[in-house]
């Protein structure tokens, strides 16, 4: 079975504090997009697992969430799997590429084995692999709370063009959390207003409320991020924001020609860019 692992975008990201166990308490609005990886998943009857991760620098063992998902799902069945990834989602971009691949493996194996797990059960299974995996299983749009595992489905973003651009550097998520923890005052996204705008199908309303608190703690080394945001806005985006812990930035466009022009211009300056659209919730 060939299945698409859709990329994830954060329309908003807020840090509410820390939980007693040391994790950060998050509140995010997330949306999946059509752009993503393709995974070819085949069952084996000898219990062996193989993975072609699609890039030479990516691990092909249990450190890769796709193979971890397959091993957990098939544990005790005597079955194995061959997985081949056509990798498109940029690595270390804040787009949940590894989690999306794991979620796609779970959806594929659920069908191939005939286990017929419900979406809710599959999301709970995905939580054993990573905090972002449940959202990547369900896709569409959702309010994510806690570590990202507490999900409230939302109407997906109304159809629009989305330009995503990743500068040529990665971000350290732990470092961003440390910087954020040391910040005494913080602007916060209007999460309730953003949810209302999604429910109303109001793209400009969503765009006005997109906000990522990690952008407050960027330093001069990450100056390409505000530069890309400014370029997207100058070229007609209704709003632009960094996704997750970065370093990818995206802009929403209601004008198709402006989106195409922005994609063409940014592609000439940055290697990892794409033009895509929001996608609806997945089906089990």
DSSP code, position 19: -
Q: Is position 284 within any domain?
A: no
Q: What range defines the domain where residue 129 resides? A: 2-154
Q: Is position 112 within any domain?
A: yes
pLDDT tens per residue across all 284 residues of the chain: 999 999 999 999 999 988 888 788 999 999 999 999 999 999 999 999 999 999 988 999 999 999 999 999 999 999 999 999 999 999 999 999 999 999 999 999 999 999 999 999 999 999 999 999 999 999 999 999 998 889 999 999 999 999 999 999 988 888 888 888 877 667 889 999 999 999 999 999 999 999 999 999 998 889 999 999 999 999 999 999 999 999 999 999 999 999 999 999 999 999 999 999 999 999 87
Q: Is 132 a catalytic residue?
A: yes
Q: Is 8 a catalytic residue?
A: yes
Place of tokens 């794409």: 274
Are residues 108 and 181 both part of a single domain?
A: no
Alpha helices in the chain (DSSP H): 65-74, 97-112, 119-126, 133-138, 173-181, 191-200, 203-209, 224-234, 256-267
From the list 198, 191, 100, the residue with the least C-alpha distance to 141 is 198
Total-model pTM: 0.95
Are residues 61 and 200 both part of a single domain?
A: no
Active-site choice (8, 68, 87, 166): 8
Are residues 26 and 145 both part of a single domain?
A: yes
pLDDT score at 219: 87
pLDDT score at 185: 61
Q: Of 154, 189, 217, which one is at a domain's C-terminal end?
A: 154
Helix (H) or strand (E) holding 274: strand 272-276
Active-site choice (37, 68, 132, 166): 132
Q: What is the CATH number of the domain that holds 232?
A: 3.30.70.890
Residues forming a β-bridge with 85? 39
Q: Of 138, 154, 170, which one is at a domain's C-terminal end?
A: 154
Q: Is position 201 within any domain?
A: yes
Asked, as a colleague might, if the bond just before 206 is cis with ω within 30 of 0, I would say: no
Q: Is position 168 within any domain?
A: yes
Overall domain count for the chain: 2
Three-class SS of residue 6? strand
Are residues 128 and 247 both part of a single domain?
A: no
Q: At a CB cut-off of 8 Å and minimum separation 6, what does 244 contact?
A: 8, 10, 13, 93, 94, 95, 96, 212, 214
What is the number of other CB atoms lying within 10 angstroms of the CB of residue 40? 14
Buried b (16+ CB within 10 A) or exposed e, 126-157: beebbbbbbbbbbbbbbbbbebbbebeebebb
pLDDT score at 55: 92
Are residues 83 and 173 both part of a single domain?
A: no
């Amino acid at each position: 079975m060939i299945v698409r692992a859709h990329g994830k975008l954060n329309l908003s990201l807020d840090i509410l504090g820390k939980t007693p166990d040391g994790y950060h308490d998050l509140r995010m609005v997330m949306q999946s997009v059509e752009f993503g990886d393709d995974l070819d998943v085949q069952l084996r009857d000898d219990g062996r697992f193989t993975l072609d991760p699609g890039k030479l620098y990516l691990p092909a063992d249990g450190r890769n969430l796709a193979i971890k998902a397959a091993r957990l799902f098939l544990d005790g069945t005597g079955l194995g799997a061959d997985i081949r990834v056509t990798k498109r989602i940029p690595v270390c971009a804040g787009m949940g590429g590894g989690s999306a691949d794991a979620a796609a493996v779970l959806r594929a194996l659920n069908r191939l084995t005939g286990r017929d797990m419900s979406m809710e059960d599959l999301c709970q299974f995905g939580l054993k692999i990573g905090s972002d995996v449940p959202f990547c299983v369900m896709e569409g749009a959702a309010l994510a709370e806690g570590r990202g595992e507490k999900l409230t489905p939302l109407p997906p973003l109304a159809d629009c063009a989305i330009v995503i651009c990743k500068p040529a550097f990665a971000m350290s998520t732990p470092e961003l959390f440390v910087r954020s923890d040391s910040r005494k005052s913080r602007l916060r996204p209007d999460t309730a207003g953003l949810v209302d705008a999604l429910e109303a199908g109001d793209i400009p309303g969503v765009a006005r409320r997109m906000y990522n608190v990690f952008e407050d703690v960027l330093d001069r080394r990450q100056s390409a991020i505000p530069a890309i945001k400014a370029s997207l806005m100058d070229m007609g985006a209704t709003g632009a924001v960094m996704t997750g812990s970065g370093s990818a930035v995206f802009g929403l466009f209601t004008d198709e020609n402006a989106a195409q022009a922005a994609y063409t211009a940014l592609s000439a300056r940055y290697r990892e860019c794409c033009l895509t659209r929001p996608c609806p919730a997945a089906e089990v």
